Structure 1
Amino acid sequence: MLDHVSISHESGLVLWSKSYNPSFEAMSQSSARSPVNTLVRDIMIENKSADPEEGFEKDGWRVRWTVENGLGLVFVVVFPALLPLTYISDLLSRSKSLFLSLFQQSIQALVLSLSSTSTSQQSHQATEEANVQIDQALSRLKRELVGERWEEIWERCLRGCEERADVKKTGGKSKKNNHNNVQAVQKEAVQQDNDGDKTASQPDQTGLSAEEIAKNVQAFKNRMKTTSSGRSSPAPNGGTASPGKHGRPAQTKRTSTANAGAEKIMRKWGNGTGEVTPDAMKELDFSGPDLRDEQEKEGKVDVDGLVDRGSLGQVGKEGFYEVADWDVGKGSSNNVNKEELPSEEEILARGRRTGGSGNAAAKTDNPEDLQEPISRLSSLFNRLTGKKVLSESDLDPVLREMEKHLMSKNVAKDIAEKLCEGVGKALVGKKLGGMTSVRHEVNNALSTTITQVLSPKTSTDILLDIKRKASQPLPPSVSSDPNATPKRDPYTMTFVGVNGVGKSTNLSKVAFWLLQNKLRVLIAACDTFRSGAVEQLRVHVRNLGLLESQLGVGRAGEGKLVELYERGYGKDAAGIAKDAIAHAKENGYDVVLIDTAGRMQDNEPLMRALAKLVTVNNPDKIVFVGEALVGNEAVDQLSKFDRSLKDFSAAAFGVRGKARGIDGMILTKFDTIDDKVGAALSMTYITGQPILFVGCGQTYSDIRSLRVNHIVEALLGA
């Protein structure tokens, strides 16, 4: 049983490590007692002779290592000294080969960057540029470690070494019998496969691990199940007949082009008179019955087509349905289908093809750039020591690099410049000491600044706001009837934005989230301009109503939870919204979602009309819906929407009250940008308002919450 494993450079830079023993990890915090630090200090720095195969013992632990001299890599394994582990040499050798096969090019770039810092008499600016190159190369390598799933490959390599050691220890009896049993099962499965592939019935099992054999057996079983399920059956002509659209049998696949040409009948599209008879129309009508119409008559809907069950949120401690968090750069963890790990043989073969094995020193572009390990170690340990006061000349190159990095993440240019300028002013005059680099200080300061910008200044808990409004005292009745019961105002949200960003779709996603929390929702169709806008909402409401019954989210005795309020096209949107709110108040709806027409931010008449809707109805939330794909354009859209609403509302219509601006944002198409999340920072920086949700798919459940720390990590990551 291992306690610790690490891969580091001779300069002391740790590339990857893993601890299996918490007590060892705690003890390693003391540099004086750590066996790994003892290896670096007593053997490598002082150049003491020691046998890596034998290792050395310290405080009850035994340390074994192997060195890749060409690149200066050190592979270290620590385990209890009393355990006679016989597979350590094999483990070190195989892990070194696998690591070099996967990452040698990135390691060479890192080593060249390290060697540039050991050059004497170079300027301070050149040193800082070299440090930036080191950080970039190290970040790129660590990103590749995650992408190639190195930790899983290492764990598999460890298990394989342990299994081989057990086989040698037991004389190969128990493992061999198990191996033969697996081979027998696999052979039987191959023989029963009716594909007729005789060559597959005698696979070469030499060198295969038990894990790989088990995977092959499972694959053959799956193929047998597919064949026996009857999903494909031999056709009379030797092709394969499969069901066509709407349940009709598709045409049989022809194996001969000549036969296909002989049997094909030319289709006639008319009788030459220009008239189309009803019989001809019926003959040419290949459309089947609409499955959705049949399901709607039965009160059913294709739940899997409208809701991604894997992306559904969960009910929290307080009983509220909460949407899942969006993990930037990885997407939804529930829907990730990991590819099968490549075998060790495939990794080593890839390394041989790309030059990732053998003597690494012989494959570097410039061997003279690789300095002696001791000089590189001394250079790294001696740089940036003592106390230093940061000046503008120290910060300028790093800030310029960080500004370009933020822009590459889709942050608007002006905002990237302002952020870096503010960080520079905050760091000038600060003392820098120890092993801390200028880039590290800039990175920390920028992380703090971005966190402050993204941290919500107002409440983002819409459910809490709805509950708070519902608990307010009822207003006095204004009805002439003394027996009339006063009604409570519903919580209202208005969705605004430019054309085509997905306002109606994401409004429906928010409605689905509210339905999951058993709130009654009224959707107001206030887009009276775009053709099909009302029909689009009608379809969404129909689907949500059917999902309501099938998912069991309704409230007994209160009718449907979601309905549409519409007045057709060409009418005043502000008046429709006012009537919808009054209807919701009269009928006990909890929330009103107001859909508005898309408009460009420079269209003053349309922006005045939108400001009128906001002023007349005074919604609780004005939500701007924008795309995550845009950078500078997002700043222009949002800033002009916010400015126009504030300028044209309230006083412009003679209504006393506070001017209204944007209260929150929804970013759409977030699943298409990977880690380029700069639009979130740009939009929050402009208005100071939070990102309420992000849209990340086409189903009603594809809506997520965005955490501040996730955005910061994505923006500052490589």
Structure 2
Amino acid sequence: MLDHFTIFTRNGLVMWSKSFTPALTNQSNSSSHPVNALIKQAFLEQRTSEAKFDKDGYTLRWTFANEIELVFVVVYQRILQLSYIDELLETVKNLFTELFTPIAKLLKETSSTSPSKSLSSFTLTARNEFQAALKEWETIFIQTLRSLERAAAQNKRKGLGGVLGEKRQPSAVQAAAAASEAEKRASSGQDSPTLNKADTKDSNDIAKSMEALKNRLKAEGGPGGRKVSRAKKGNNASGSAGNSAPGTPGGHGSGTESPGGKKGKPAKEMRKWDGSGNFSAGDVSSLDFSGSGGKDAVESNGLDSWVDKRSMGQKRADGVYEVADVFEEEGEDDEDDEDDEGTQKARGKGSSSSFLSRFSTASASGSSLFSLSRLTGSKVLTKEDLTPALSAMQSHLQSKNVATDVAIRLCDSVERNLVGKNLGSFGSIKAEVKKALEEAITRILTPKSSTDILLEIATKRQRSAAAASLALATSAREKELASKPDPYSICFVGVNGVGKSTNLAKVCFWLLQNQKRVLIAACDTFRSGAVEQLRVHVRNLGQLRVEGVAVEDQKGMIELYERGYGKDAAGIAKDAIAYAKNEGFDVVLIDTAGRMQDNEPLMRALAKLVAVNRPDKIIFVGEALVGNEAVDQITKFDGAMKDFSGVSNPRGLDGSLLTKWDTVDDKVGTALTTTSSTGLPIYFLGTGQTYTDLRQLRVHHVVNALLRD
């Protein structure tokens, strides 16, 4: 009654798989396969808190063999209630690791640099032997599966439910062990425990198959034996034992850093306030911010309060203007988490220690096993070993503004990745937990698709130009319209008061600096002053100097499209896009009214705007201040875009922009919460009130802030 079972390495190499239905057999290499969805959403994006995943009518369950970095996944119809799945996974894991641990360890070593070449170091003979061994393994798997299915059916007939009965049928491994013990007792003349005939036959078959495969691997040297060692020196033929599953995207985000290795916020001079009332002309001038003479003002063609050159981005060699990175706070804790107790005391009683240090102290007082922070000897991690660290880790993440369910999901992921892992001779639980947590956070925050909006704008213009050359136009007007490319449209949505209009203006400034003509569509026809606010932004942005553009050519680079209040927002956006195409604008920025995620009528109106105009990018604008509320906001906005659209292929959110980032210090958990809840990337961060206060997120900045005390 299974549909699929697969075994693959953590870096994406499929060692063995078996499909029992044509539907999954035909799409074994397709991106729509349920296992591929599992890898993307559960393993890479960490969006499930239990070892169970539903996709397209299927349920997927899995387990890890962390010592050799293997994943065992079973797929079956969601409607079925199979009581033996957990036992099947555990049994297959034990049998497979018993047989193929040497080859799995060798694959782990050789594939660490290049998974696609992990088997190329094997000789052709070794690969053929491995394929033959896998065919024999398939026989063992089928025998184990049939044994468990029969045992479950027998228990069901007896009314035991398959899992709750006291006289539950023994598993295949238990039956095989019992049969082996019975043979030993019989040979020594002792009485043996009684097994029914079906269990004895199943266990004997499995035991014989296992013994035969063991003898074969031992006699032939096996893929992990001497033949493989010689293969590393030569005779490298191409080939693969299985299909390659999607790998794990690695690496932190990269950014420009100072030669010292850190980038800190520029120091701000303190102002001197004197209550005596004796001010010189220079003092008055330094405190006058109405013009360009103030000490802290920045020259920008008369708009000193709207542009701060200290927070400006940089021009790349190809002329592209990039917004600045998020600055790392000075004094970042780069100390090794392996500080001993004396070092912690030296920091002072009032200083806060990291969650890993708190775990070390708590575990030392609660169990003699962890009286020392570093374990020596070979130690296999268990759930009990990790419980103190995971509890402290969850509390630490929540203190950093990470939503509760996201923190729990992360802890469960770390636990699954570490249970059963061998620490080695000098392994440390603290180091392993920190490493696993850092990898999990990095996987969540790393964008799964391109976030280069400028590239998408250029690509759309090229496609529009190519389509126009093939279009058949009858009239001169149609030919003129066909020759003009479609503008790139970005729609900003979010709850009330998060700063959509202000940050839309910041994005507009970024586009203007990249010499794009921008039309702002005032589609917030409800809030009083919304149109006037955009009008002020357009007036100010229109007076800013754009580097590389002549002053006379700057006129018309930005314009506001408005139709007043009380009108249909979807119609205004549609007319604005048509106007932008006719006038040759590159980008249309659509401002929408703020609305609460639970207000269904307003969410339906927003979904209508999206469905009618099909913007190229839908960006959710949220606050970096919120914690648990972020999950509710972004998931309901994304759901409303799809549920209320009324079209067959609905659009959801494409990414997010987090505002008020400068107010959260190192409590940056909202970035992790929003990305983990939907898997959507973070395009920008708002950090202030000027047009230059827009930042781009670097993954390692968030990771460092979350792990920092």
Alignment of 1:380-399 (within 5 A): 383-399=374-390
Name the structure 1 match of 2:313: 313
Secondary structure at 1:704 match in 2: strand
Name the structure 2 match of 1:492: 489
Name the structure 1 match of 2:78: none
Secondary structure at 2:416 match in 1: helix
Q: Residue by residue, what CA displacement relative to the aligned partner does 1:566-586 show, whole Å, maximum 9, x if unpaired?
A: 000000000000000000000
Name the structure 1 match of 2:593: 597
Aligned equivalent of 2:476, options 472, 481, 484: 481
Secondary structure at 2:476 match in 1: coil
TM-fit CA distance, 1:329: 3.5
Conserved? CA contact 1:328–1:675, under 8 Å:
no
TM-fit CA distance, 1:416: 0.3
Alignment of 1:373-522 (within 5 A): 383-472=374-463, 473-475=466-468, 476=471, 480-481=475-476, 484-485=479-480, 486=482, 487-522=484-519
Identity of counterpart residues, as a percentage? 60
AA in 2 matched with 1:517: N
Partner Cα distance (2:454, 2:375) in 1: 51
Aligned equivalent of 2:543, options 535, 542, 546: 546
Distance 1:407 1:300, change over 3 A: closer
Q: Residue by residue, what CA displacement relative to the aligned partner does 1:238-290 show, whole Å, maximum 9, x if unpaired?
A: 9736569999x99xxxxxxxxxxxxxxxxxxxxxxxxxxxxxxxxxxxxxxx9
TM-fit CA distance, 1:439: 1.9
AA in 1 matched with 2:582: E
TM-fit CA distance, 1:459: 1.3
Name the structure 1 match of 2:629: 633
AA in 1 matched with 2:533: Q
Structure 2 stretches of 5 or more lacking a match? 1-259, 263-271, 293-298, 333-347, 351-360, 362-370
Name the structure 2 match of 1:615: 611
Secondary structure at 1:431 match in 2: coil
Partner Cα distance (1:715, 1:355) in 2: 23
Distance 1:331 1:464, change over 3 A: farther
Partner Cα distance (2:550, 2:488) in 1: 19
TM-score computed with the length of structure 1 as normaliser: 0.51
TM-fit CA distance, 1:318: 2.2
Name the structure 2 match of 1:536: 533
Name the structure 2 match of 1:583: 579
Conserved? CA contact 2:641–2:650, under 8 Å:
yes
Conserved? CA contact 1:526–1:577, under 8 Å:
yes
Computing the radius of gyration over CA atoms, which structure comes out larger, 1 or 2? 1
Partner Cα distance (1:330, 1:491) in 2: 39
TM-fit CA distance, 1:435: 3.0
Distance 1:505 1:442, change over 3 A: same
Secondary structure at 1:484 match in 2: helix
TM-fit CA distance, 1:589: 0.3
Q: Residue by residue, what CA displacement relative to the aligned partner does 1:606-631 show, whole Å, maximum 9, x if unpaired?
A: 00000000000000000000000110
Is 1:324 matched with 2:324? yes
Partner Cα distance (1:320, 1:436) in 2: 47
Distance 1:532 1:477, change over 3 A: farther
TM-score computed with the length of structure 2 as normaliser: 0.52
Alignment of 1:661-680 (within 5 A): 661-680=652-671
Conserved? CA contact 1:565–1:580, under 8 Å:
yes
Conserved? CA contact 2:517–2:557, under 8 Å:
yes
The 10-residue stretch of structure 1 (616-625 or 468-477) with the greater mean CA deviation from structure 2: 468-477
Q: Residue by residue, what CA displacement relative to the aligned partner does 1:42-99 show, whole Å, maximum 9, x if unpaired?
A: xxxxxxxxxxxxxxxxxxxxxxxxxxxxxxxxxxxxxxxxxxxxxxxxxxxxxxxxxx
TM-fit CA distance, 1:471: 1.3
Q: Residue by residue, what CA displacement relative to the aligned partner does 1:165-198 show, whole Å, maximum 9, x if unpaired?
A: xxxxxxxxxxxxxxxxxxxxxxxxxxxxxxxxxx
TM-fit CA distance, 1:330: 4.7
Partner Cα distance (2:657, 2:513) in 1: 19
Name the structure 2 match of 1:568: 564
Partner Cα distance (2:593, 2:324) in 1: 29
AA in 1 matched with 2:416: K
Secondary structure at 1:523 match in 2: strand
Name the structure 2 match of 1:113: none
Structure 1 stretches of 5 or more lacking a match? 1-148, 152-225, 227-231, 233-237, 251-289, 293-298, 333-353, 357-368, 370-378
Q: Residue by residue, what CA displacement relative to the aligned partner does 1:116-141 show, whole Å, maximum 9, x if unpaired?
A: xxxxxxxxxxxxxxxxxxxxxxxxxx
Partner Cα distance (2:582, 2:554) in 1: 14
TM-fit CA distance, 1:432: 1.1
AA in 1 matched with 2:488: Y
Q: Residue by residue, what CA displacement relative to the aligned partner does 1:505-558 show, whole Å, maximum 9, x if unpaired?
A: 000000000000000000000000000000000000000001136x66457647
Conserved? CA contact 2:519–2:561, under 8 Å:
yes
AA in 2 matched with 1:699: T
TM-fit CA distance, 1:434: 2.9
Secondary structure at 1:464 match in 2: helix
TM-fit CA distance, 1:713: 1.2
Conserved? CA contact 2:526–2:593, under 8 Å:
yes
Alignment of 1:162-241 (within 5 A): 240=278
Partner Cα distance (1:465, 1:602) in 2: 32
Partner Cα distance (1:634, 1:557) in 2: 42
Distance 1:505 1:558, change over 3 A: closer
Name the structure 1 match of 2:675: 684
Q: Residue by residue, what CA displacement relative to the aligned partner does 1:418-475 show, whole Å, maximum 9, x if unpaired?
A: 1101110121111012332212111111111111111101211111111111111133
Partner Cα distance (1:308, 1:331) in 2: 25
Partner Cα distance (2:478, 2:663) in 1: 56
Conserved? CA contact 2:531–2:562, under 8 Å:
yes
TM-fit CA distance, 1:402: 0.4
